[in-house]
């Protein structure tokens, strides 16, 4: 007979509930789940093992759908379970409790290794791994960004079989909607793949048709896509006009101007703007350098750029992104937090189990100080030092 799991109470904190920060609450958890959000004087608190939050802010753990690397590791260079452990540990320092390891354009062999590594990591219980994000190789040369266009191609039957095979986690796929046939987009979507548009030179009409065929979101809105124009709305116009799709936004102050961030967030239906990092190996590492596509990328003034000035991912972490949404963009803290937790959970179809501080959800938390700097991270009821 299994030993009953102990009841743990998180006390003396400000809890970011659905309607904003609240004092005088306690969070009760048993195992990996939240049992209750209750008043601090609830008799159950007295019988529980307590953890003092020391007046800090308890928010839902952050969920990042675009993580290329961290802790000095690039997923493309090391598509292994050990690499995923390192990347996850690096991002936990900043309150990220769930993430999609992201493989940018690479060979079919590396893509298959990455898919298998993520499956194995989830099977082994590597904290935080929710699935995989394949950013390429089905992209457009005209909007390639830092991707290696020599590896771009159209999906073949083997690709589709590998991507749509039953997986332990979610599969997100970024593609150029003008390059991939609508029937293929529809096939991928109907098989459960989260199909998103990115690195695309499509016009509005083509993008609208792809949305109708199953595209449900946009990778790093504004970047590597056709802009909004007065006569041709482009991909950005399609993204902002569509009420159902999600938009990933990199709030590092370099990829997107704060005004453009405000415009996008205001234009989209509430719940459809999602904070992402597009993080590279320097996040959670002492080294500002990494190698991508044979090029040494050095982070200067917080910007990851090639020698040619091309943005190469970011050095952003989710906690900094939340701070930027509050301080640069002017969002209320509760909404900035939702962009980093409940909204991405909904995009991934995980909102029944993750992304909010309510009974029944996973006990995934970030504990922030008054400067919104992460001081503790909890994943599935397990506390990690930061």
Is-above-0.95 flag for pTM? yes
Mean pLDDT of 64-93: 98
In the chain, ranges of CATH 3.20.20.140 domains: 61-347
CATH number of 61-347: 3.20.20.140
Enumerate residues 6+ apart whose C-beta is below 8 A from 262. 329, 330
pLDDT level of residue 3 (50, 70, 90 thresholds): low
What is the predicted pLDDT for the residue at 1? 47
Q: Is the peptide bond before 137 cis (omega within 30 degrees of 0)?
A: yes
Neighbouring-strand partners of residue 383: 378
Higher pLDDT, 152 or 305: 152
- pLDDT tens sequence across 256-269: 999 999 999 999 99
- pLDDT tens sequence across 79-120: 999 999 999 999 999 999 999 999 999 999 999 999 999 999
In the chain, ranges of CATH 2.30.40.10 domains: 7-59+357-385
Tell me the C-alpha distance between 268 and 301, whole Å: 30
Tell me the C-alpha distance between 205 and 210, whole Å: 9
The CA-atom distances, in angstroms, between 376 and each of 11, 142, 272, 353, 365 are 14, 43, 28, 21, 8
Using CA of residue 252, residue 258, residue 264, residue 267, what is the dihedral sign? positive
Enumerate residues 6+ apart whose C-beta is below 8 A from 267. 240, 241
Tell me the C-alpha distance between 223 and 219, whole Å: 8
- pLDDT tens sequence across 215-229: 999 999 999 999 999
Strands 246-250 and 382-385: unpaired
What is the length of the chain? 386
The CA-atom distances, in angstroms, between 223 and each of 219, 282, 341 are 8, 21, 22
Residue 180: which of 199, 161, 204 has the closest Cα?
199
What is the predicted pLDDT for the residue at 290? 92
- pLDDT tens sequence across 124-145: 999 999 999 999 999 999 999 9
What is the predicted pLDDT for the residue at 2? 52
Residues catalogued as catalytic = 278
Lowest mean pLDDT among 13-27, 59-73, 352-366: 13-27
First to last CA, the chain: 35
pLDDT level of residue 166 (50, 70, 90 thresholds): confident
Tell me the C-alpha distance between 258 and 15, whole Å: 28
Mean pLDDT of 161-181: 96
Enumerate residues 6+ apart whose C-beta is below 8 A from 294. none
Residue 57: which of 321, 375, 381, 384 has the closest Cα?
375
Mean pLDDT of 51-80: 97
Neighbouring-strand partners of residue 99: 64, 129
What is the predicted pLDDT for the residue at 126? 98
Fold (CATH) for 7-59+357-385: Urease, subunit C; domain 1 (2.30.40)
Mean pLDDT of 318-342: 97
- pLDDT tens sequence across 9-35: 999 999 998 778 999 999 999 999 999
Mean pLDDT of the chain: 96
Which 3-state string (H, E, C) describes 89-113?
HHHHCCCEEEEEEEEECCCHHHHHH
What is the predicted pLDDT for the residue at 220? 98
Percentage of the residues of the chain whose pLDDT score is greater than 90: 91
343 near 272, Cβ under 8 Å?
A: yes
Q: Is the peptide bond before 285 cis (omega within 30 degrees of 0)?
A: no
Instruction: State yes or no: pLDDT of 347 exceeds 70.
Output: yes
């Amino acid at each position: 007979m299994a030993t009953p799991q102990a009841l743990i109470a998180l006390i003396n904190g400000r809890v970011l509930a659905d309607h904003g920060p609240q004092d005088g609450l306690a969070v009760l958890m048993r195992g990996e789940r939240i049992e209750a959000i209750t008043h601090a004087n609830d008799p159950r608190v007295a019988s529980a093992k307590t953890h003092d939050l020391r007046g800090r802010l308890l928010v839902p753990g952050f969920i990042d759908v675009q993580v290329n690397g961290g802790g000095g590791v690039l997923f493309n260079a090391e598509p292994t379970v050990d690499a995923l452990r390192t990347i996850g540990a690096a991002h936990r320092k900043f309150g990220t409790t769930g993430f999609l390891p992201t493989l940018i354009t690479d060979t079919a062999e590396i893509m298959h290794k990455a898919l298998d590594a993520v499956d194995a990591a989830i099977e082994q219980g590597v904290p935080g791994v929710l699935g995989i994000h394949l950013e390429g190789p089905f992209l457009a040369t005209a909007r390639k960004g830092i991707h290696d266009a020599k590896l771009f191609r159209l999906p073949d039957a083997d690709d589709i079989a590998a991507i749509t095979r039953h997986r332990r986690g979610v599969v997100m796929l970024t593609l150029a909607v003008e390059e991939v046939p609508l029937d293929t987009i529809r096939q991928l979507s109907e098989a459960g793949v989260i199909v998103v548009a990115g690195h695309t030179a499509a016009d509005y009409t083509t993008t609208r048709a792809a949305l109708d065929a199953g595209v449900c979101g946009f990778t790093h809105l504004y970047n590597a896509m056709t802009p909004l124009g007065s006569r041709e709305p482009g991909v950005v116009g399609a993204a902002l006009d569509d009420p159902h799709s999600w938009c990933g936004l990199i709030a590092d102050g370099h990829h997107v101007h704060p005004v453009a961030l405000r415009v996008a967030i205001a234009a989209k239906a509430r719940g459809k703007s999602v904070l992402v990092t597009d993080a590279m190996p320097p996040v959670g590492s002492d080294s500002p350098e990494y190698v991508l596509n044979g090029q040494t990328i050095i982070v200067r003034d917080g910007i990851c750029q090639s020698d040619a000035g091309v943005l190469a991912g970011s050095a952003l972490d989710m906690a900094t992104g939340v701070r930027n949404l509050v301080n640069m963009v002017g969002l209320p803290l509760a909404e900035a937090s939702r962009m980093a937790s409940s909204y991405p959970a909904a995009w991934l179809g995980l909102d029944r189990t993750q992304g909010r501080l309510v009974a029944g959800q996973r006990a995934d938390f970030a504990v922030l100080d008054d400067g919104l700097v992460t001081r503790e991270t909890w994943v599935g009821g397990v506390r990690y030092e930061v």
